[in-house]
């Protein structure tokens, strides 16, 4: 019986259900694709025929892609949870009158709950059914992106796993049911008399649940903002990049309260359409909040994360510029240190040879092998060229922890190079971790046999004597390797870091951002679906169709502005953590905002909501108002 | 059902009061009303707008809590009933008809009528449902959806839906308020016929013509019962209403 009602309900309020269905389909697709990619990267075997060094480089690369895909999966799961649950809750709130009517003719609260849960199960199953094939499409796009940006080793293939079917259906059902659970309890408590109220929003929009969620997530966000500066470069960055999610959920939970307030800041003009738009914004706070919520999350996530990324990169670049002491940089292969020092006019040179390594820290059961980068350095020259603490203790059989972190700062580690076990080595020094990162392990000269270094990439930071002829030194050095000015080299390094940051953000947020944007459209369509009557009433009161459409457009504009502003507040919370963290690590608070991206997100949001509003209000006013008002239900 | 011990009154109101708002803005929509609606009889409740007539109906039907007093449907005390008991009551002993017909748009007339039985967990016999529709003169509209019907037809479907559970009392709130005079007459004829065959009906209306079709008319002003007429025609009802509105 209830299922039949569900089906009948589906047919009638189709935009509501289409929106809920779409949110499940895309959420399942995104989560499924991210999970398959992560599993594929984690279980990837190195291609046959690689030598030991190649296998180590492959392992390092694979570790990095697993870490990246972990973040992708986390973001996808969060977005799916947020968008599906808010969409479902909104569809329930929009059908308050229908539910009250069922109560009026003898429906019990339990029956209403079962009806709503039945719908959620139906929509979750349908959504997952469509989401599984859609997920294959999303996976093709994501693999393409990953490969094009060089985040996966050559020959990476995202693989289908049969068990993913169970996971995807489970995800769709679980998220749909979780999304509707609270809303169903609330919807079932509707009073039968509410069926008689023609219009108007569902009573109190700020529920206890919203307050509790807001306080919990606010607490989490504040904790991260306070702790981030004490977390070191890696920990601080990780904590700061989690602030947007928490801050966005906090603000989204408070949105029935905040959106009408923020919406007042949007200019809506003086005409009657503007007046009606302002009144509707304040009156239908539930609807305004539901449209603004995905927008808040979108802005917070994209602007917050990308802004944090560019700021941390800028901070690292500034730190490098401040700490590097050299005139020229030479990139070459193999042991070039002696030849560089022999060039007339060279005062000193820190020559650094990179090697892939595996490091085992801890003993017995706790032993943990990690891919790492190691660098053979001249300790004294290194400390001078990078303004680092003294590495005088680094000689003989010993290692030092590098600026890249991830290494124990005392005790011993077991270091393995490709095909060569260096054995247990004491960690005799530890350089402070830097924002820019770098190598994990510094090795003294003489520890690694020369034949292992012959083909390794080597970089030398060269300082000239006061009386040297730069052109002549340059000419001499260019016979050894590629020579750059320090400034040019720093610039190129910064560009490369920025481009890596951009690529990571594209992978992590590209499809997620698109999903959130579709969530915005979804809510806007659902919000408009039940407004035909309201529009018809405005028209019989004397408004023209144009005025009604203009009023709806102005209302959507105000809600969009509110969403953008509140999203900016959530992103701002992230930037607070960024400022304190960069200040704690490098001594200089750094914020570098991606203004073109911010402008693009704002423009896209306004465009998308405006077009949606135009289309929905145009189609909702197609019928003659009198015909619509006559057909009472 | 306690057929043997049924009270004489279909609905009994004992000193009920319903207050909206608090403090200085408080409005006593229903103010200490004591009233009985006799079994098997049609009572109309009239009064100027804001007199509290709709609130009175909602309180009598258990749709709204009273702040003081007692509401009885037969012998059952609504004021002591919880949500589950009120739901059960709506399924078996109370029927509603409203100005805005409140049919479910996605269901056919037949499905709308069968809905209360289905919600009560009963499998309605198609013949019963058809018979109920036939009683309101819509046997041929069983498979139509509300939007394919006129206002008068929709209201008759709503009446059939209310009647299908054979309720003790039918509550009607401005049942003709949204209808043209011809459709209104059909609906009133139907209610008259039902009352004549023993159905208890409580109807709120502002239309003296509609009220005159009832067995008795109760006048309400400022939340209090101020007058009662039995067997009056439309003119008498209108005059009495006008008198109360003037004073």
CB contact under 8 A, A633 and B104: yes
Chain B positions touching A108 (Cβ under 8 A) are 83-84, 87, 119
The whole-angstrom separation of Cα A83 and Cα A71 is: 18
Chain B positions touching A632 (Cβ under 8 A) are 100-101, 146, 151, 154, 178
Instruction: Note whether residue B53 is domain-resident.
Output: yes
Displacement of CA B50 from its chain's centroid (Å) = 18
Query: What residue of A is the nearest CA neighbor of B107?
Result: A8
Identify the band that residue A499 occupies on the pLDDT scale cut at 50, 70 and 90: confident
* A275 burial level (CB within 10 Å; 0-12, 13-18, 19+): middle
- Tell me the per-residue pLDDT of A395-450, one tens digit each, with 9 for 90 and over: 889 999 999 888 888 888 888 888 888 888 899 999 988 888 888 899 998 888 88
Listed in sequence order, the DSSP H helices in A13-108 are 14-42, 52-94, 96-104
For the beta sheet containing B42-46, the strands, ordered from the edge strand earlier in sequence to the opposite edge, are: B94-98, B169-173, B200-204, B42-46, B216-221, B224-230
CB contact under 8 A, B90 and A105: yes
CA of A630: how far to CAs of A40, B147, B149, in Å?
59, 9, 10
Identify the band that residue A586 occupies on the pLDDT scale cut at 50, 70 and 90: confident
The whole-angstrom separation of Cα B147 and Cα A588 is: 69
- Residue A278 confidence (pLDDT): 85
Identify the band that residue A293 occupies on the pLDDT scale cut at 50, 70 and 90: very high
Could you tell me if A60 and A356 are in contact, meaning their C-beta atoms sit under 8 angstroms apart? Answer: yes
Instruction: Note whether residue B113 is domain-resident.
Output: no
> Considering the entire predicted model, what is its pTM?
0.82
For chain B, what's the residue count?
Answer: 247
Chain A positions touching B91 (Cβ under 8 A) are 106
DSSP A469: -
The whole-angstrom separation of Cα A255 and Cα B209 is: 50
CB contact under 8 A, B119 and A192: no
Compute the radius of gyration of chain A from its Cα atoms: 30
Query: What residue of B is the nearest CA neighbor of A13?
Result: B106
Could you tell me if B227 and B240 are in contact, meaning their C-beta atoms sit under 8 angstroms apart? Answer: yes
Instruction: Note whether residue B128 is domain-resident.
Output: no
Mean per-residue pLDDT pooled into runs of 10, chain B (247 residues): 57 92 84 92 90 90 90 90 88 88 83 87 85 89 88 90 90 89 90 92 92 92 89 85 79
Q: What is the mean pLDDT of chain A?
A: 86
When comparing pLDDT for A272 and B214, which is higher?
B214
Token couple for A607: 């465009």
- Residue A8 confidence (pLDDT): 55
The whole-angstrom separation of Cα B238 and Cα B234 is: 6
The whole-angstrom separation of Cα B220 and Cα B226 is: 6
- Residue A119 confidence (pLDDT): 87
Those residues of chain A whose CB sits closer than 8 Å to some CB in chain B are 1, 8-9, 11-13, 98, 101-109, 111, 191-193, 195-196, 198, 630-633
Is the pLDDT at A531 greater than 90? The verdict is no
If you average pLDDT over residues A293-316, what whole number do you get?
92
Identify the band that residue A9 occupies on the pLDDT scale cut at 50, 70 and 90: low
Structural domain count of chain B? 1
Phi-psi region of A398 (alpha: psi -120 to 50; beta: other; left: phi over 0): beta
CB contact under 8 A, A633 and B102: yes
- Residue B200 confidence (pLDDT): 94
- Residue A598 confidence (pLDDT): 93
Identify the band that residue A626 occupies on the pLDDT scale cut at 50, 70 and 90: low
Instruction: Note whether residue B106 is domain-resident.
Output: no
CATH, residue B78: 3.40.50.300
Instruction: Note whether residue B241 is domain-resident.
Output: yes
Question: What phi, psi does B100 have (nearest 5°)?
Answer: -95, 115
When comparing pLDDT for A370 and A138, which is higher?
A138
Instruction: Note whether residue B52 is domain-resident.
Output: yes
Residue range of the domain that includes B175: 6-93+167-246
DSSP B216: E
Could you tell me if A503 and A281 are in contact, meaning their C-beta atoms sit under 8 angstroms apart? Answer: no
Chain B positions touching A6 (Cβ under 8 A) are none
The whole-angstrom separation of Cα B176 and Cα B192 is: 13
CB contact under 8 A, B100 and A103: no
- Residue A628 confidence (pLDDT): 64
- Residue A217 confidence (pLDDT): 95
Is the pLDDT at A608 greater than 80? The verdict is yes
Question: What phi, psi does A296 have (nearest 5°)?
Answer: -60, -45
CB contact under 8 A, B119 and A195: no
Instruction: Note whether residue B63 is domain-resident.
Output: yes
% of chain A exceeding 90 in pLDDT: 35
The whole-angstrom separation of Cα A93 and Cα A103 is: 15
DSSP B64: S
Token couple for B88: 């059960």
ipTM attached to this prediction: 0.82
Instruction: Note whether residue B44 is domain-resident.
Output: yes
From A624's Cα to the closest Cα of chain B, the distance in A is 14
- Tell me the per-residue pLDDT of A555-567, one tens digit each, with 9 for 90 and over: 999 999 999 999 9
- Tell me the per-residue pLDDT of A174-230, one tens digit each, with 9 for 90 and over: 988 988 888 888 888 888 887 776 544 455 677 888 899 999 999 999 999 999 999
- Tell me the per-residue pLDDT of A453-492, one tens digit each, with 9 for 90 and over: 888 899 999 999 988 888 999 999 999 999 999 999 998 9
């Amino acid at each position: 019986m209830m299922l039949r009602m569900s089906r009948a309900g589906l047919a009638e309020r189709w935009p509501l259900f289409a929106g809920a269905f779409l949110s499940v389909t895309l959420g399942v697709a995104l989560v499924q694709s991210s999970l398959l990619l992560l599993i594929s990267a984690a279980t990837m075997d190195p291609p046959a025929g690689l030598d030991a060094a190649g296998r180590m480089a492959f392992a390092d690369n694979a570790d990095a892609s697993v870490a990246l895909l972990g973040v992708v999966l986390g973001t996808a799961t969060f977005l799916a949870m947020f968008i599906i649950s808010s969409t479902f809750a909104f569809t329930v709130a929009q059908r308050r009158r229908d539910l009250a009517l069922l109560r009026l003719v003898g429906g019990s609260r339990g029956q209403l709950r079962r009806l709503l849960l039945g719908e959620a199960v139906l929509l979750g199953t349908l959504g997952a059914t469509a989401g599984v094939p859609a997920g294959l499409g999303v996976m093709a796009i994501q693999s393409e992106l990953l490969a094009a940006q060089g985040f996966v080793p050559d020959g990476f293939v995202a693989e289908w796993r049969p068990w993913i079917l169970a996971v995807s259906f489970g995800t769709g059902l679980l998220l749909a049911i979780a999304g509707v659970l609270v809303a169903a309890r609330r919807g079932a408590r509707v009073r039968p008399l509410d069926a008689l109220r023609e219009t108007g929003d569902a009573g109190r929009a700020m529920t206890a649940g919203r307050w509790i969620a807001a306080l919990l997530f606010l607490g989490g966000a504040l904790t991260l903002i306070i702790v981030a500066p004490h977390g070191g470069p890696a920990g601080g960055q990780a904590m700061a990049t989690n602030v947007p999610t928490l801050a966005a959920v906090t603000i989204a939970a408070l949105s029935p309260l905040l959106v009408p307030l923020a919406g007042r800041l949007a200019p809506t003009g003086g005409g009657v359409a503007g007046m009606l738009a302002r009144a509707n914004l304040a009156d239908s706070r539930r609807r305004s909040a539901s449209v603004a919520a995905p927008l808040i999350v979108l802005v917070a996530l994209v602007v917050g994360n990308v802004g944090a990324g560019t700021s941390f990169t800028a901070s690292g670049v500034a730190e490098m510029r401040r700490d590097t002491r050299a005139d020229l940089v030479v990139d070459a292969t193999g042991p070039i240190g002696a030849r560089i020092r022999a060039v007339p006019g060279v005062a000193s040179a820190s020559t650094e040879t990179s090697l892939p390594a595996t490091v085992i820290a801890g003993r017995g059961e706790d032993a943990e092998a990690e891919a790492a980068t190691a660098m053979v350095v001249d300790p004294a020259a290194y400390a001078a060229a990078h303004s680092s603490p003294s590495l005088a203790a680094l000689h003989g059989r010993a290692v030092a922890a590098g600026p890249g972190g991830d290494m124990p700062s005392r005790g011993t580690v077991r270091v393995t190079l490709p095909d060569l076990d260096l054995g247990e080595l004491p960690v005799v020094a530890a350089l402070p971790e830097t924002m820019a990162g770098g190598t994990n392990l510094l090795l003294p000269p003489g520890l690694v046999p020369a034949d292992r270094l012959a083909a390794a990439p080597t970089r030398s930071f060269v300082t000239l004597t006061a009386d040297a002829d730069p052109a002549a030194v340059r000419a001499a050095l260019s016979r050894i390797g590629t020579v750059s000015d320090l400034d040019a080299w720093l610039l190129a390094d910064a560009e490369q870091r920025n481009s890596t940051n951009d690529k990571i953000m594209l992978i992590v947020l590209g499809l997620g951002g698109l999903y959130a944007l579709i969530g915005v459209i979804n809510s806007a369509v659902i919000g408009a679906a039940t407004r035909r009557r309201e529009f018809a009433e405005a028209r019989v009161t004397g408004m023209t169709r144009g005025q009604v459409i203009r009023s709806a457009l102005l209302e959507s504009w105000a809600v969009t502005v509110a969403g953008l502003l509140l999203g900016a507040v959530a992103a701002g919370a992230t930037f607070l953590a960024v400022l304190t963290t960069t200040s704690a690590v490098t001594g200089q608070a750094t914020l570098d905002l991606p203004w073109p991206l911010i402008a693009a997100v704002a423009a896209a949001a306004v465009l998308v909501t405006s077009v949606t509003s135009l289309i929905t209000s145009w189609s909702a006013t197609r019928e003659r108002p009198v015909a619509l008002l006559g057909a009472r239900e | 059902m306690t057929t043997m011990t049924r009270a004489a009154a279909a609905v009994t109101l004992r000193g009920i009061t319903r207050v909206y708002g608090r403090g200085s803005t408080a409005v006593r929509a229903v103010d200490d009303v004591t009233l009985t609606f006799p079994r098997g009889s049609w009572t109309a409740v009239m009064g100027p707008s804001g007199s509290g007539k709709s609130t009175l109906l909602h309180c009598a039907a258990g749709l709204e809590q009273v702040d003081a007093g007692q509401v009885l449907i037969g012998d059952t005390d609504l004021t002591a009933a919880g949500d589950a008991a009120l739901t059960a009551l709506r399924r078996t002993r109370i029927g509603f008809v409203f100005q805005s017909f409140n049919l479910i748009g996605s269901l056919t007339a037949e499905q709308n009528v069968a809905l209360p039985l289905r919600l009560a967990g009963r499998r309605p016999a198609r013949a019963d449902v058809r018979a109920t529709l036939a009683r309101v003169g819509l046997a041929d509209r069983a498979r139509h959806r509300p939007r394919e019907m006129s206002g008068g037809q929709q209201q008759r479907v709503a009446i059939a839906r209310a009647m299908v559970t054979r309720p003790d009392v039918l509550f009607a709130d401005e049942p003709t308020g949204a209808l043209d005079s011809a459709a209104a007459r059909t609906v009133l004829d139907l209610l008259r016929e039902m009352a004549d065959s023993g159905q208890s009906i409580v109807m709120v209306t502002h239309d003296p013509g509609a009220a005159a079709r009832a067995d008795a008319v109760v006048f309400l002003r400022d939340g209090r019962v101020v007058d009662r007429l039995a067997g009056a025609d439309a003119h008498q009802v209108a005059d009495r209403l006008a008198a109360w509105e003037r004073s």
